[in-house]
C-alpha cells in the first residue's frame, strides 16, 4: 500500500502535472541524472577510489571569475 501524501507533496504533484509534456520530460531527465550521479558518488566513496579534479570541471580563479566573464 502506498504511503499517504502530505498536502505539500500533493500540491507539488499537481503543479508538476500541469506543466507541458516537454518540461516534465526535462525535469524527469534531470532527476534521473542526479540520481545516477549520487549513486556513482556513493560507490566511489565506499570503494575508497581516489578523487581527481578534472581541469574542465574546475572554474576560473582570480579577479575575473564572475559569470559571463571571459579572458581575452
Return all residues near 27 (Cβ < 8 A) that are at least 6 apart.
Answer: 16, 19
Residue 72: pLDDT above 60? no
pLDDT at 60: 53
**Residue among 17, 38, 37, 41 nearest 27 (CA):** 17
Mean pLDDT of all residues in the chain? Answer: 76
Asked if residue 68 has pLDDT above 70, the reply is no
DSSP assignment string, 11-66: HHHHHHHHS-HHHHHHHHHHHHHHHHHHHHHHHHHHHT------TTTSPP-STT-S
The tens digit of pLDDT for each residue in 24-59 reads 999 999 999 988 888 888 888 776 655 555 555 545
Amino acid at each position: 500500500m502506498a504511503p499517504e501524501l502530505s498536502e505539500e507533496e500533493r500540491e507539488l504533484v499537481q503543479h508538476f502535472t500541469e506543466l507541458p509534456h516537454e518540461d516534465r520530460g526535462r525535469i524527469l531527465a534531470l532527476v534521473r541524472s542526479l540520481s545516477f550521479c549520487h549513486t556513482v558518488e556513493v560507490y566511489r566513496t565506499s570503494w575508497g577510489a581516489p578523487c581527481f579534479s578534472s581541469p574542465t570541471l574546475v572554474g576560473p580563479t582570480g579577479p575575473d571569475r564572475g559569470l559571463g566573464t571571459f579572458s581575452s
